[in-house]
Structure 1
Amino acid sequence: MNTITLEETSRWYGNVVAVNGISMTIGPGITGLLGPNGAGKTTLIALMSGFLSPSAGRVTLDGQPIWRNTEAYRTIGLVPEREVSFGYLTGRQFVLANAELQGVPDPGAAGERALEIVDLVEPAQRRIATYSKGMRQRVKLASALVHDPAVLLLDEPFNGVDPRQRLHLMNLLRRMGAEGRTVLFSSHILEEVEQVARQIEVVVSGRHAASGDFGQIRRLMTDRPVQYVVVGDGAAQDRALASALIAETSVVAVSLRPQGGVDVSVSEFGDFAQRLPVVARDHGVRVLELTPTDESLESVFSYLVGG
Structure 2
Amino acid sequence: MTTIQIDHVSRWYRNVVAVNDITMTIGPGVTGLLGPNGAGKSTLIALMSGFLAPSTGTVTLDGDPLWRNEQVYREIGLVPEREALFDYLTGRQFVVANAELHGLPDPGAAAQRALALIEMTDAQDRTISTYSKGMKQRIKMASALVHDPSVLLLDEPFNGMDPRQRIHLMELLRTMGAEGRTVLFSSHILEEVEQVARQIEVVVAGRHAASGDFGAIRRLMTDRPNRFVLRTSDDRTMASALLADASVRGARLRSEGGIELEASDFGRFSEVLPRLAREHGIRLHEVTPTDESLESVFAYLVST
With the length of structure 1 as denominator, give the TM-score of the two structures. 0.75
Q: Summarize deviations over 1:32-59 as a string: whole Å, max 9, x none.
A: 1111111110000000000001110000
- 1:217 and 1:300 in contact (8 A); partners too: no
CA distance in 2, matches of 1:156, 1:223: 27
1:103 is displaced (CA, Å) by 1.0
1:63 to 1:130, Cα distance in 2 relative to 1, 3 A = same
CA distance in 1, matches of 2:135, 2:26: 28
- 1:84 and 1:140 in contact (8 A); partners too: no
Q: What code does the residue aligned with 2:41 have? A: K
Aligned residue for 2:66? Answer: 66
Aligned residue for 2:98? Answer: 98
CA distance in 1, matches of 2:216, 2:54: 30
1:18 to 1:253, Cα distance in 2 relative to 1, 3 A = closer
Aligned residue for 1:258? Answer: none
Q: CA RMSD in A?
A: 3.0
Aligned residue for 2:88? Answer: 88
Residue 123 in 1 paired to residue 117 in 2?
Answer: no
Residue 151 in 1 paired to residue 151 in 2?
Answer: yes
Alignment of 1:43-54 (within 5 A): 43-54=43-54
Alignment of 1:295-306 (within 5 A): 302-306=296-300
Aligned residue for 1:20? Answer: 20
1:126 to 1:211, Cα distance in 2 relative to 1, 3 A = same
Q: What code does the residue aligned with 2:169 have? A: L
Aligned residue for 1:205? Answer: 205
1:252 is displaced (CA, Å) by 5.0
Unaligned runs of 5+ in 1: 227-242, 255-263, 273-297
Aligned residue for 2:180? Answer: 180
- 2:197 and 2:214 in contact (8 A); partners too: no
1:145 to 1:225, Cα distance in 2 relative to 1, 3 A = same
CA distance in 1, matches of 2:222, 2:23: 23
1:26 is displaced (CA, Å) by 0.4
- 2:33 and 2:186 in contact (8 A); partners too: yes
1:106 is displaced (CA, Å) by 1.2
Q: What code does the residue aligned with 1:120 have? A: M
- 1:33 and 1:186 in contact (8 A); partners too: yes
1:189 is displaced (CA, Å) by 2.3
- 1:29 and 1:177 in contact (8 A); partners too: yes
Tell me how many residue pairs correspond in the alignment. Answer: 255
1:225 is displaced (CA, Å) by 6.0
CA distance in 2, matches of 1:60, 1:149: 16
1:133 is displaced (CA, Å) by 0.6
Aligned residue for 1:79? Answer: 79
Aligned residue for 1:257? Answer: none
Q: What code does the residue aligned with 2:3 have? A: T
1:265 to 1:13, Cα distance in 2 relative to 1, 3 A = closer
Q: Summarize deviations over 1:138-183 as a string: whole Å, max 9, x none.
A: 0000000010000000000000001111111111111111111110
Q: Summarize deviations over 1:220-275 as a string: whole Å, max 9, x none.
A: 6899469xxxxxxxxxxxxxxxx9xx67xx75569xxxxxxxxx9559xxxx9xxx
- 1:214 and 1:300 in contact (8 A); partners too: no
Q: What code does the residue aligned with 1:33 have? A: L
Q: What code does the residue aligned with 1:13 have? A: Y
Q: What code does the residue aligned with 1:164 have? A: R
1:209 to 1:124, Cα distance in 2 relative to 1, 3 A = same
CA distance in 1, matches of 2:85, 2:205: 29
Unaligned runs of 5+ in 2: 227-240, 251-262, 269-291
1:85 to 1:203, Cα distance in 2 relative to 1, 3 A = same
CA distance in 2, matches of 1:41, 1:86: 25
With the length of structure 2 as denominator, give the TM-score of the two structures. 0.76
